[in-house]
Amino acid sequence: MYLRSHIMFVQVISRMCLWFSFYVLGVFLLSADVKTYCDGFYFCYKEYLEDFKSGSISHISFRKRDMTEVSREQLRVTIMRANEEYGKAIEAGYPDYSLEFKIVGEHQAVNIKQVIFDGVEAEPSIFHIFEPSWQLAEIKDFQMEPVKANSKLAEVISLVPVSNTFTIRLRKRLVDKLKEKPRIKITLISSYGKKFIIETDNFIREYDF
């Protein structure tokens, strides 16, 4: 009788542990996907998408955009012949990496004033990108929009939660540093001091970005 009760107890605990493991794994990560494609002969893309069940960041999109050999050769025989310095500036901006965050649950527009990469030092370049062809090469480690870009809109309080999107551009040297980490953890700090944190498996390393 004692042995049977002990076995039943162990089985129940095992099921509870198994259920708990699946629950914990499913709380944060809802789905993930990676895809690659090319835009004609000029650019190729690699994109990672991840959705989350809980937390203030519901979705991230990480994209690598790089020139094809055809476009690099055309750059050399056209623009570089006319203006070598300008052509080299364009080429130096690639590969171009962008990371988009979807922030949910706030009742106002969210302005991000600071981005922290856990365990990695990164210097921001804060400016509007209006001409990527040469501005990408001007980015230090990552680029973000000026915090006052939507200051008036951020003062409006909505009766219902609104969805906010925040995007940064990253240089390859920062991506390489992040690739070395066991996990990716990024903290976004808003203009009103609230922190939005995303922590997930290192998809940069897993999918070799």
- Provide the pLDDT for residue 29: 54
The conformational region for residue 110 under phi > 0 = left, psi -120 to 50 = alpha, else beta, is: beta
DSSP string for 147-167: TTTTHHHHTPPPSS-EEEEEE
- Provide the pLDDT for residue 150: 59
- Angstrom distance (rounded) from CA 8 to CA 28: 31
- Provide the pLDDT for residue 5: 42
- Angstrom distance (rounded) from CA 171 to CA 142: 6
Closest C-alpha to 184, from 114, 123, 118, 121: 118
- Provide the pLDDT for residue 15: 42
Beta strand ranges found along the chain (DSSP E): 29-39, 43-52, 57-67, 96-106, 112-117, 124-126, 142-144, 162-170, 183-190, 195-201
Give, for all 209 residues of the chain, the pLDDT tens digit.
433 444 343 343 334 343 333 333 333 556 789 999 999 889 999 999 999 988 999 999 999 999 999 999 999 999 999 999 999 999 999 999 999 999 999 999 999 999 999 999 999 999 999 999 889 999 999 999 998 755 677 788 899 999 999 999 999 999 999 999 999 999 999 999 999 999 999 999 999 99
- Provide the pLDDT for residue 142: 99
Model pTM?
A: 0.82
